[in-house]
Structure formats: structure tokens, C-alpha cells
Chain A
Amino acid sequence: MANLKEMMQDHILDRPNSYIGKSVPRPNAKRLLAGRGTFTDDINLPRQSHVAFLRSPYAHAEIVKIDVTSAEASPGVIKIMTGQEMAKICTPWVGVLSHLEGIKSAPQHALAIGKACWQGEPVVAVVAKTRSQAEDAIDLIQVEWNELDVVVDMERALDSDIPVIHDELGDNLTWQRNVDCGDVDAAFKNADHVIEETYISNRHTGVCLETRVIVADYNPGEEQLTVYLSTQCPHMMQNLFAKHLGLEEHKVRIICKDVGGSFGVKVHSYPDEYATAALAYCLKRPVKFTADRLESFTSDIHARDHRINTKIAVSNEGEIQAFEIDDLTGIGPYSVYPRTSGIEVNQVVNLTGGQYKNRNYRAQARVVLQNKSPMCQYRAVGHPVLTLITEGMVDDAARRIGMDPLEIRRKNLIPDDSYPCTAPTGLPFEKLSHHACLEKLAKMLDYDALQKDKREARENGIYRGIGVATFIEVTNPGATFYGIGGAAISAQDGATLRLDAKGNLIVEISVTEQGQGAEAVVAQCAATAMGISLDKVRVITGDTDVTPYGGGTWASRAAAIGGEATVQAGKALKKNIIEVAGIMLQADPATLDIYNNNVVDKSNNTERISLEEVGRICYYRPDTLPKDYQSELVVTRHYVPKQFPFAFTNGVQGCYVEVDTNTGFVKFKKYVVVEDCGTVINPQLVDEQIRGGVIQGLGGALYEECLYNSEGQFLNGTMADYLVPMAVEMPDIEVGHVETPTLESELGAKGAGEAGTGGAPAVIMNAINDALSPLGGKVTRQPFTPERILMAIGKIT
């Protein structure tokens, strides 16, 4: 085993001229700024046709008869397909995973067969020369519907008088999970205080500014399906299209160009996307589907629809003694494929209260079917819900015993020096930094000054509140997240590094760029590991024919997992280069290094031979190298975390708000986030992930809600009616860091993409409730609208 000194000499964080920790602007942003990106809808192929879908206008209805006679005669129409015909080309799927014990769902088809189960489910596909013509033809299709009773209210989904959506399942209960840790009953029995509360997390959706888009083409000569797709996971989609269209996997190529926002929306497979690929296969010509905004609202996944009853036990001294939760969540009519719709609630069960020392924890979770749009994983999966309830409960406890919110957290958070340890549910924590983050937050907020300001304002009838919310966040999942349950979702990612003949570095990597900066971060890792400058690096992502096999971008994994694969590939390639340079220079490779695009003398960084010259000799003049020696200027390395199922990150958010008690409007006065994502590769990109994530979380907390009426009709499915955060109302956010690298990887990075979103709803709720507390009011139902705030304080009834 190498000694520590040797290890450190080669350690990625100890490189001269390192890019790790530097705010380097993203090279690929320039094309986007010039309007010269390539989003999938920008791609038009020769002989391309367009598909549009007749979608169910009803939440639950039998399809009695479909008459397409007039539609077929409509100008430009190429093909009209219904469910039965589609099923001959594309097989159905069931969204279950074996490690979610007992989860069940019904077979789902690309186009509905027999009945439609939510408003917006695709029923008939019309392919025409233009999108307009396809829509014209849809207007001419006659469908005879027989409306069925609907399951809308999740609270009633399991009642005996409510219809079962899929008869073969027997009931509308998709999954349930119970955990019981420690001695919860005894803790509540002996507690000084028990506080119960019900929280409502509202159903909302991702609203990527670029809707879902797919352009599929089938070349019968090559038997090759090529799919341009706005996605987060090209290889997963390659597997799924091949599997359900009956193609060989290597005959399916997924190309993912620029993606206009994804946030988890584009990590799932969708019926209309299978249908588009199937139609291209069937028609042997390119077919494009660009979801319009209205169909995005009803066909993109929704998320976070939960009702949670909670109970916390706390002593007079502020010791948290038990948490108990009962989570009910309605996921629409199908568990979404292939990740299932059980993961969100699973996170809630796994992690509620997980940042605290308390060991007494009980959770019951039930996942029910209903006739609304399918629900599945969306940015920060489960965390906004579990952080909302955890930190809501802790604030309740603090208020009850009259303890300062920071103080109760100081008292109960797992001490920074007690790692490794586990959550009550058994999930292992490698090392977290709750207390360091909390103290840093207190300083950045200027907590005592805010308390003073708040008191003074109240004397003048102005209601201000401070909110604090600590959180833990799952990032860098290994194979136990999906692969273990039978999903063909790679936990591993790979990077191929190639030195070209001019000394430039080409990186092909399986993680994908969604705008978060994955390509920039990968370039930084490659440049640092190799000792070359960033301008020499080109990163290629998003093509299953080109990059190594891997999982893509989700669960805050691209930078940390892709980055580590890059680092390891970079080190291996560097070793190869130094080896061949040693031959060229007749020098001991151990005396050489690479620095500033040159092979240098390790002792003093003086140039020995440039990488360009190494490339030239290896490619053009290998005859000058020994006959028994072959240089290798291409290296691939993969990485997957194995020691821990996840790299947990942690942090704390704090904000200061003013609530107008006449209008119920909330105004931000200050917003601070301190988070620990391990090694920070690019501080600016991390900060912007935090900021963007917070605002997305605030969207769910303050504005966003998918509203349905009792017939299961989506009421606010336009951009004008479904409100997302806009520039005027949103705060500036200060971001601070504590760095606790994971020791599992050399890079030490953990994910940062979701921490902002996960903590935001809790912190704004706690701030509002702090402001309202002198008036005896409290909000626990998202979104925290002016109306709900006024009702909470009795201004309106």
C-alpha cells in the first residue's frame, strides 16, 4: 500500500494549476447565449412528419368507439393509430420495482386501450405533414365516451364505495410501507409534550420551459432506430425503446442535444414518447412530437401530492423524543415506469427526522391510485415534503416549550463528531456537518439582530418572521436505488478520455448536460487530473453511440459520479502519456508530470515535451517508438459508489420575511443557505444550483398547485393560471458552504442540484408561522397563499 505522502502527491485536490474549486464559466453557455444551441425541437430531419395526440378529455371514461373516417381524409394526414394497433408494435409496461416490496400497478399502453384513466392520457395518434394538420385532423375524430365514476380525492381512494381503477389490482392501494424504530409508544407516553399537526404538500409539476420533445427516425436499411430526445438518461431510454419495440439495444441510438430544463420531468418514460418512436418504426420515416404547453400540464409527471399527519414528542428541556408520521399520497392511475411512483414517499419514510439524534420513529405510508395525471419523481424527490414536516414539527415543539428555534436544533441535531452513524431507519451517514452549517447560518443571517428587528417591528404592528430549516439530502445513489429492484438504470457512469494528435483532450461521458453545468464540471475534472488547460478540453455528452454506458443525470449525481469517473480516467491517461513520454525522453516516468499542457520534470515543472508533440509522435511517427511498445492515448474509467448507498449532503436554510396581515402577502427580506456538498468543484455553478433550486422550492411553497375539480378535470393547466415564480417577487439569496468531502471518491464531491429545492418550503413555512405566531395563526397547507394566511389569522373566514 502506498504511503500517505505518495497518495497525496497524486491526489486530485493537490494538483498544481488545479481547476477544482474555481468558478470557471461554462464553455457551452456561449452557444446558448448566441441563440445557437440545438434543442430537440430545433432538429428537423428530411421527410419528417409530426404527431399530435387526441387526449382523453375525461378523467375516467370508457372508450366506446373511435371513428377516424373524416380525420383520415384531412389534408396532410399520413397515419392515424389507436391503442389496439399501437399495442401490436409497442408492448405495455408495469411500473414496479422488486425492492419496493408489494408495489403493484397495471399494464400501461402507449395509447389507451378500452378506457382512459386521466384527463390528458393519449388515446389516438395522428401523424401528418405538419403539426397544424395533425391538430386539424384530431378535431375531426369522433370518439364515443362512456364516463366512469372517478377517484379524485386521495383520502377517499380506498373507501369501499369508490371505484377500483384497475380491476385486476383488486383495490387502489399501490403500495404501503411501515417502519417502527425504537420505542415510539413509550416515548409519547412519557413525553412532557406531544404536538400533532397535519401538513398538506400540494400537487405540482415541473414546467420545464422546453416541453418534452422527441424526434424519432427508423432506417430500415440499417434496422436502426435513432431518437433525438430531450432527456436526462439516454441509456435508460435506449433500453426501454428497444425493449418495448422489440429491437436490439445496439440498434437503438439516443441523441440528447441541449435540454431546456428537466428537473426530473425528463427522467421518466412517457406513453406519447413510446408512441412517437413506434410510429417512426412503423412508418419508416422521422416523426416529431413536441408537447405543447397545455398537454405538458396534463401529461408531464406531477409530484408531491401528500397529506401527512405528524406527531412529535419533546421534553421540557427541548429534547426531541419521538417522531411519528402517517403519509398518504395519490399518484394518479399508474405507477410511472421505470422508476415507480413509490420512491417519493419512500424518501419521506426513510428520512423524516433523519438529521436528529432521536431514535424513536414510526412511519406509515400509503400510496393510492386516482384519476389524475401520473405522479413521479421531481427535483429533490420527497425532500421538500419530509423537510417541511420535520422542520414544521421541530418548530412546533420549540414554540410549545418556548425555546429558540436555533437552540432546539443545536440540542437535537446529530453532533458533527459522531459520524459515521445511521438514521433511525438504518440509512448510513458517512459524515455530515449540521452544527457547522447552523452556526454559519446564524452568523450570515445575523440571527440576533434579526430577532431584535422582529421584536421592534412587532411593536409597530409589523409582523416579521424568521424561518430556519435544516435538511439532509440523498445524492450520488449507488445501485441500491433502482438497479437492485430490477430497473435497467445504470448506477455507474463512465468517461472516455482521448488525447488527440494536437494535444487536445476529448472527453466522452455518460452523464448529461441539463444546463446545470455538468460539461463544465467534467472539463474541470479532466483538465485538473491531466494537468492541461481548460481550453484544450472538449466534452461530449448525450449520445448512446458515442459515450460510455451510464445513468445520466438525476439524484444530484452528474458532477460527483461523472466527475470521479473523469478524474480516474484522467489519471490513467496521464500515466499512459507519461509512460510514452518517458520512452521518448529516455527518462524515468516517476520523474515526470504533466503541467500546463506539457510533460514536465516533476521536481521543478520545467518543460520536457509538449502534449502536442507526444500526440504527433504517437499518431504520426509511432515508428520512432520501440517495436514492442504500443502507446494508448485513449482511456475509459467508470465509477459507482459502493461503500454507501447514497452520499448524504446536508445544510440549513434561513429566511426573514414580512407578512402583510391585511393582504396576506409575504415579502422576503433576507434569504440565506448554507450547505455542504463535499468538495465544491465550481463554486459559482454550485451557488446557482442552490439559488435556482430554492426558487423552484419556493414555487411549490407559495404558488404552484395543480388544481382539480371533483370530476378530475385539471382547472389551471395554462401558464397564465398555473403560477410559477417570476422575477419581481423572488429574493436574492446568500449562499455559504461547509465542505465535508466524501472519502468514498478521490474527488470527494457530493451532489448539489436539489438541496435548495428540498429545504425551501420548510423554511418559508416556518418564517411565515413565526411572523403569525403573535396572532395565533399558522399555515400548514401548501401553497401558502395570501388567502390561506388571512384565514389562518382570522382576517377572513
Chain B
Amino acid sequence: MDNIEQIKINTVVNGEKVEAFVEPRLSLVDFLRNELELTGSHVGCEHGVCGACSIQVDGSVVRGCLMLASQADGADVISIEGASDAGIVADLQKAFHERNALQCGFCTPGMLLTSSELLDQKKNPTRAEIREYLSGNYCRCTGYEAIIDAVETVAIDRAGSSHNGKS
């Protein structure tokens, strides 16, 4: 199509100010990956189902493939790189590592950000609640149990209280 106007955006990504001109059709996850070279957010389906592109925008986890880069104008965006460097998900990362709650690692950034949002909202989730909250994030390797274990471990550690394990 002719006469496509590039969109100027000002956004904050992982705490850094970003000013860019973007094609209107560029998705936010492609912008992060290809323009900002933040390749930790992954593209798994581009139709909003798999959750591999999960990123945090203005405090909420969203699908990076279902938002346009132009919509990030004025927004505060945090990808796994930023969350990792800021230590926001450090305990989750440690628990995932110790429990081997990842295999290929492709879904892992999305799992971490979504788990982090869950634990911000709910201090003592049951295993069923963890499973439900993570149900929009596909993992093809682990079978989920290790991920649930890891999130549960962190929830218990953060709450500093005892919990009845699996049931």
C-alpha cells in the first residue's frame, strides 16, 4: 500500500528511554526483537495463543504479538531482559533452575513474567491456581509439573509460611 506513514514513538523499555520511527504494522515483539535487539521475548505463533512473546506493558503482562509497536508510545515496557537485570524475577529464575522447570527455554521468559504477575496478585496460590494462571502459556517440553513446582516454591518462600505441598 502506498503512503504509509511511519509512527514516531517515545517509550521506556527496561528503564531506558527509546525514541523510534516504526512501521504501523510492526508488532511490539518484533520491535523489541529486531529493532532493539532484545531477543529474549520469543515469537511462537503470532496469533496470541502460545504466550512465548509475553511482555509487561504498563504493569500488565500482554501478548507482544497482539500489540503494535506504535501502541507502545508513552508506555513502560519490561521484557525478560529488563526483569532479569532488575532482579524482579530472580527468585523465580533460581527456582526454575533448581527444579529444571525449563528444557528448551523458549517458553521460559513468558512463563517467568506470567508467574511473576500471578505472585504479585496472589500470595499463596494453590497448585490449581498456578496451573490456571499459566494456562495461556504453552510449554511443549516439561509437561508443566516442574514449572508449577517452581512457582509454588517461590510462593511459599515469599510468603514465608508452610504449605501442604502437592495436592
Contacts and interface: CB of A to CB of B under 8 A. Distances in A.
Contacts of A42: 33, 39
A718 B47 contact: yes
Contacts of A559: none
A260 B135 CA distance: 19
Interface string A514-539: 11110000000000000000000000
A168 B7 CA distance: 56
B49 interface: yes
A2 interface: no
B141 A515 contact: yes
Contacts of B106: 39, 209-210, 260-261
Given A261-B104, A692-B103, A33 B112 contact: yes
Contact of B97 (A30, A132, A514, A688): A30
A728 interface: yes
Contacts of A284: none
Interface string A6-30: 0000000000000000000110011
B105 A32 contact: yes
Interface residues of A, number: 57
Interface string A706-748: 0000000000001110001111101111000000000000000
B154 to A, nearest CB: 13
B138 interface: yes
Nearest to A37: B105
B141 A258 contact: no
Contacts of B104: 32, 208-210, 258-262, 514-515
A685 B99 CA distance: 10
B56 interface: no
A724 B44 CA distance: 14
Nearest to A43: B39
B140 A688 contact: no
Contacts of B45: 293, 718-719
Contacts of A732: 127, 145, 148, 166
Interface in B93-131: 93, 96-100, 102-109, 112, 127-128, 130-131
Contacts of A292: 46
Nearest to B25: A132
B41 interface: yes
Nearest to A684: B100
A449 interface: no
Given A35-B41, A39-B42, A517 B103 contact: yes
A33 B43 contact: no
B34 interface: yes
A290 B46 CA distance: 12
Nearest to A732: B145
A258 B105 contact: yes
**Contact count band on B:** 35 or more
A62 B33 CA distance: 39
Interface in A219-239: none
Decide if the interface of chain A is mainly helix, strand, loop or mixed: loop
B153 interface: no
B60 interface: no
A436 B132 CA distance: 37
A41 B43 contact: yes
Contacts of A262: 104
A34 interface: yes
A695 interface: yes
Contact of B80 (A35, A206, A209): A35
B44 A209 contact: yes
Contacts of A692: 103, 140-143
B52 interface: yes
B13 to A, nearest CB: 13
A261 B34 CA distance: 22
B10 interface: no
B100 A26 contact: yes
A466 to B, nearest CB: 20
Interface in A747-762: 756
Given A29-B100, A37-B105, A261 B141 contact: yes
A146 interface: no
A730 to B, nearest CB: 5
A730 B145 CA distance: 8
A29 B140 contact: no
Contacts of B9: none
A211 to B, nearest CB: 8
B57 interface: no
Contacts of B137: 727
A517 B104 CA distance: 9
A695 B102 contact: no
B84 to A, nearest CB: 4
Nearest to B52: A209
Contacts of B81: 34-36
B63 to A, nearest CB: 12
B134 to A, nearest CB: 5
Given A259-B104, A293-B46, A35 B52 contact: no
A132 B22 CA distance: 13
B103 A726 contact: no
B148 A727 contact: yes
B68 interface: no
A728 B129 CA distance: 9
Nearest to A697: B143
B28 interface: no
A339 interface: no
Contacts of B25: 132
Contacts of B62: none
Interface string A474-518: 000000000000000000000000000000000000000011110
Contacts of B44: 209-211, 293, 719
Nearest to A733: B145
Interface string B140-162: 11111111100000000000000
B49 A720 contact: yes
B139 interface: yes
Given A29-B100, A41-B43, A210-B104, A695 B84 contact: no
Contacts of B84: 33-36
B34 A691 contact: no
A728 B134 CA distance: 8
B103 A515 contact: yes
Contacts of A718: 45, 47, 49
B40 interface: yes
A207 B9 CA distance: 35
A733 B166 CA distance: 11
A695 B52 CA distance: 19
B96 A33 contact: yes
Contacts of A263: 140
B27 to A, nearest CB: 10
Interface in A674-711: 684-685, 688, 691-696
A727 B134 contact: yes
B47 A720 contact: yes
A44 interface: yes
B50 interface: yes
Given A29-B100, A132-B25, A261-B106, A694 B143 contact: yes
Given A35-B41, A261-B141, A727 B103 contact: no
Interface string A27-57: 0011011111111011010000000000000
Contacts of A727: 130-132, 134-135, 137, 139, 144, 147-148
7 contacts: A206-B140, A209-B140, A262-B104, A695-B143, A720-B47, A726-B135, A732-B148
Interface of A: 25-26, 29-30, 32-39, 41-42, 44, 132, 206-211, 258-263, 290, 292-293, 514-517, 684-685, 688, 691-696, 718-720, 724-728, 730-733, 756
Interface of B: 23, 25, 33-34, 37-47, 49-50, 52, 79-81, 84, 93, 96-100, 102-109, 112, 127-128, 130-132, 134-135, 137-148, 166
Given A35-B108, A692-B141, 17 more contacts: A35-B39, A35-B81, A36-B84, A39-B42, A207-B140, A515-B104, A516-B103, A684-B99, A691-B142, A691-B143, A694-B143, A718-B45, A727-B132, A727-B147, A728-B131, A730-B144, A732-B166
